[in-house]
Structure 1
Amino acid sequence: MVSTQIKETNHAVAVVSLGNSQVSLGHPDESVTPKPNIEDEVEYPDGGSAWLQVLACHLINAMACGYGAAFGIYQLYYTETLKLPASQISWIGSIQIFINNLVCTVAGRLADAGYARETVLGGSFIALLGTFMSSLATQYWQIFLSQGVCTGLGLGLMYMPTVTVVTSYFKKRRALALALSTAGTGTGSIIFPATVQYLIPQIGFAWAVRCAGFVALTIVIIVNVLLKPRQLPKKTGPMVDWLAFKEPPYVIFVAGTFFVYWALYFGYFYINTYAITVASFTPTSAVSLLLIMNAVGVPTRPVIGYIADTYLGPINAFILSTLSLAVAFFAWITINTPSTMYGFAIVFGVTNSAAQAAFASGLASLTSNPVKMGTRFGMCCTILALATVAGPPTAGAIIDYCGGQYLWAQVWAGLVSVLGAATLSVARYKVSGAKLMVMV
């Protein structure tokens, strides 16, 4: 009777026993031995109590992203009270978003190392400090430091761990879970500007901002009760995963996203001032456009997440969403009446939110090792920081150069978005080749 047995030694030598004889096969050829997919070795709940983590991360995004996306209301107030050029005021919001993204490499690495909860807690404290200090600020430099620098730092530390937490609980429904998590951007973008705008006539700007701070404090308490990061197998590693920059799909994807985010916040920052100067809106009625734009984004994100999971694939969804965003920017050129402004707010809110939701799931699909998810996301967001800090001031400079006309700024945003979609298409080609009818 012949028996076959495979034994492994510390030197990875395979030995086959044939009866009483043993034949050493030597070292297996590593070049032909497929490396196991680490993600396949991890069990994912993909539902149940894991949805509580999605809720917690939704609330984190309500602060971390929703606060920044609502800067349009502050842009309008600061422009009127400080009497400074729009491009100079927009630097406050741009620096806030810049620092938010800049610290993501550090926050992502901390989350991967098992300190997601501590990172969120520390970021919460810093963000609240910046919010309450901005309520005391009366000069440009004070607002810049409190709302731009301090708040941006805190929000960045809060945001990045959400990606690590959600992706550690979900695999099959990852795009949907990430979309529901990032939908918090829309929730926060409704809560914070509404709180500030509608309380200003009643209690003044300073106390309106403080009330927004108390709302943020409530969110922080709920988040830190619900958040329970899942500890995946991990090992120490560098702050930056330099090997990722040797992967063409990752590098090209990051480049395409850079172009998308260069133009992304233009609409959020300038829709209020555009409505007032071009479409005869009052300051109060103009705020309703921002609220509508953010409100329609809340259901859009889970819808695009479901479509990406079920029909298109995350990268395909990101490309199509970016193209639709470019169309919205070009369509903005023709908008000049109150009724068309409301229609544009809906279209822009849907397309913008779809692009942001698809970005997260698209980048996650390029990361097979869940232990490196936060690090690779953080690296990308740090690069995107340069795009977000340059975008609104670039648009503002174009508007100021054109004597207050928005035409060429709108053309610039549309062209940059098309360039982003084209670059993302190259990344898709690197993943799937020339095949069109395939989920990627």
Structure 2
Amino acid sequence: MTDVKPSCLEGIDANGTDSESAVERTGAKPAEMVRFTATPEKNGATVESENASQLDQATLMATRPNGGWKAWLQVACGFSLMFNTYGLINTFGIYQNYYTEQFRFDPSRASLIGGLQSFLLFFANGAAGPLYDAGYTRLLVVTGTILIVFGTMMQSLCTEYWQFILAESLCIGFGGGLTSFLSPTVLSTYFTTLYPLAQGIAASGAGVGGIILPIVYRELEPKIGFPWTVRVIGFILLATLLLPVLFLQPRMIPGAGRKFIDKTAFTDWPFVVFLCGNFIYLLGAFTPFFYVEVYAVQNKIASADLGFYIISTMNAASAIGRILPNFVSSYIGPFNMLLLSSISTFVFAFAFEGAHNVASLIVVSAFYGGVTGLFFALQPVVVIGLCPDPKLIGTRVGIALGFISFAVLASNPIAGAIQSRGGFVGVWLWAGVTTAVGTGVMSVSRLMKTKSNFFMKV
């Protein structure tokens, strides 16, 4: 299989040569070229270089360690960030039930709280990406941590709808948006061939958070009440976020005068087509996570308690799916692996229509959680692989996540409208069709990138 080696993933320097050529030019071994120290720049963001002025970012990318204690410490930081952003958002279903039962919020208004939170988690990446490229990593982590923890603590005091919008939707959503993209971007500066695996391990934090936090809520809320249960969750978030606050450290040289928008992205057609396919895919990919519990209970397939643990099963499978398949993604290519996961997504989305008993529903849910987990882990890896300039990684990832945020915002209301008219058959068909069409569009992007070579590793 022929390899495609984008500069951002394989360490090509500004002159189009690889790391060995960089060594020949300088007469130094990689360890001698870049002797990393912590040099504070711009609000605490670090530049790991002894002579940063003599190195460009491409040379740093060409000498990535692809392992070592510091690199794997960044993976732990990324795991924490995913746990406290996407993992936290995965808990909203239990909050929605409480809001409709205890505060008598209309279900559509209650779902808007979580919908806005998810939207901002993606949309705020568009503003945060250029700040990362400019060297403000520490500012992003600290500000995001404060907003997430503060918003959670304020959520415990809320009693009115507008208060939940401010605390949970705006505060937590925006705080998550400042930090959620940092895991794939920072890890791309440390890893080469192990990057998909490292990102998969970090991304599994979202699945683990989606398991642990709902169980904490379910066990504590009947005993100590809603306010103190939310505060306990807030303290868990604070404790786990201290890890990236203290140790997250990208290997990068901040760019001066970074433009807020990379205009070249809009004429990079493989990138544009890939984002369009992502958008369509995400219109339906989250739908089963929102509706499988309701489907199981309303159709008397499972009790309310078992329905809750079906969601936990999906999140557990999602965590596993983000890690195990990535052991082979470096051999067949992350883009190829992503397409395999998206094909499997629409197969299992259609399979929900045939799941009419507990056993079949659990099996389909687990497989669906696993393949979508793999997709979400590889999505930023592919975006970074399509980036032509390592200095624009944060901006490109921000553009991508900001764009698809509108698909996330529209997904749940569209599925709700379909469910009210066409029942759950319509919901599963919507999930299957959108993920299938999105897969087709992303396949076109891959063919554009490889010039129609079907056997190329990319």
Same fold (TM over 0.5): yes
The farther-off stretch of 300-309 and 423-432 is 300-309
- The reply to whether residue 358 of structure 1 matches residue 378 of structure 2 is yes
Checking the alignment, whether the CA contact within 8 Å between 1:70 and 1:268 is kept in structure 2 is: no
Distance 2:416 2:228 in 1: 29
How far residue 432 of structure 1 moved from its aligned partner, in angstroms, is 0.8
RMSD: 1.9
Checking the alignment, whether the CA contact within 8 Å between 1:321 and 1:358 is kept in structure 2 is: no
Distance 1:259 1:232 in 2: 35
- Indicate which of 272, 280, 287 corresponds to 1:266: 287
- Indicate which of 75, 97, 122 corresponds to 1:54: 75
Identity, % of aligned pairs?
31
- Indicate which of 188, 191, 194 corresponds to 2:215: 194
Checking the alignment, whether the CA contact within 8 Å between 1:168 and 1:232 is kept in structure 2 is: no
- The reply to whether residue 244 of structure 1 matches residue 260 of structure 2 is no
TM-score (norm 2): 0.84
User: Cα deviations across residues 82-132 of structure 1 (Å, max 9, x unaligned)?
Assistant: 455544432221111111111102211111111112201100100111111
- Indicate which of 350, 360, 384 corresponds to 2:404: 384
Structure 1 pair 133–416 and aligned structure 2 pair: CA distance change class (3 A)? same
Greater Rg by CA? 1
The farther-off stretch of 147-156 and 333-342 is 333-342
- Give the gaps of 5 or more residues in structure 1: 1-33
- Give the gaps of 5 or more residues in structure 2: 1-13, 18-56
Distance 2:274 2:229 in 1: 40
How far residue 255 of structure 1 moved from its aligned partner, in angstroms, is 0.6
- Give the partner amino acid of 1:250: F
Distance 2:91 2:192 in 1: 31
- The answer for the alignment partner of 2:146 in structure 1 is 125
- Give the partner amino acid of 2:421: Y
The farther-off stretch of 408-417 and 360-369 is 360-369
- The answer for the alignment partner of 1:44 in structure 2 is 64
The farther-off stretch of 104-113 and 264-273 is 264-273
- The answer for the alignment partner of 2:452 in structure 1 is 434
User: Cα deviations across residues 193-251 of structure 1 (Å, max 9, x unaligned)?
Assistant: 11112212222222222111111011112222222232336343201101111111000
Structure 1 pair 284–135 and aligned structure 2 pair: CA distance change class (3 A)? farther
- The answer for the alignment partner of 1:319 in structure 2 is 339
Structure 1 pair 142–280 and aligned structure 2 pair: CA distance change class (3 A)? farther
Checking the alignment, whether the CA contact within 8 Å between 1:73 and 1:272 is kept in structure 2 is: no
- Indicate which of 165, 170, 175 corresponds to 1:154: 175
| Alignment of structure 1 residues 345-424 onto 2, 5 Å | 345-402=365-422, 405-424=423-442
User: Cα deviations across residues 263-294 of structure 1 (Å, max 9, x unaligned)?
Assistant: 12212222222221123433332221111111
How far residue 347 of structure 1 moved from its aligned partner, in angstroms, is 1.2
- Give the partner amino acid of 2:159: T
| Alignment of structure 1 residues 103-142 onto 2, 5 Å | 103-142=124-163
Q: Alignment length, in residue pairs?
A: 404
SS of 1:109's equivalent in the other structure is helix
- The reply to whether residue 301 of structure 1 matches residue 322 of structure 2 is yes
The farther-off stretch of 381-390 and 342-351 is 342-351
- The answer for the alignment partner of 1:15 in structure 2 is none
- The answer for the alignment partner of 1:91 in structure 2 is 112
- Give the partner amino acid of 1:57: G
Structure 1 pair 40–253 and aligned structure 2 pair: CA distance change class (3 A)? farther
Distance 1:145 1:124 in 2: 16
| Alignment of structure 1 residues 216-235 onto 2, 5 Å | 216-232=237-253, 234-235=255-256
Distance 1:332 1:40 in 2: 49
How far residue 425 of structure 1 moved from its aligned partner, in angstroms, is 0.6
User: Cα deviations across residues 335-368 of structure 1 (Å, max 9, x unaligned)?
Assistant: 2322222222211211110111121211121113
- The answer for the alignment partner of 1:68 in structure 2 is 89
Distance 2:330 2:144 in 1: 31
Distance 1:180 1:348 in 2: 19
Distance 1:207 1:286 in 2: 25
Distance 1:40 1:439 in 2: 24
Distance 1:275 1:409 in 2: 13
Distance 1:260 1:183 in 2: 20
User: Cα deviations across residues 37-70 of structure 1 (Å, max 9, x unaligned)?
Assistant: 6746631011002110011111111011111123
Distance 2:285 2:100 in 1: 21
SS of 1:169's equivalent in the other structure is coil
- Give the partner amino acid of 1:204: G
Distance 1:265 1:324 in 2: 14
Distance 2:220 2:335 in 1: 41
- Indicate which of 221, 225, 230 corresponds to 1:204: 225
- Give the partner amino acid of 2:357: T
- Indicate which of 70, 80, 97 corresponds to 2:101: 80
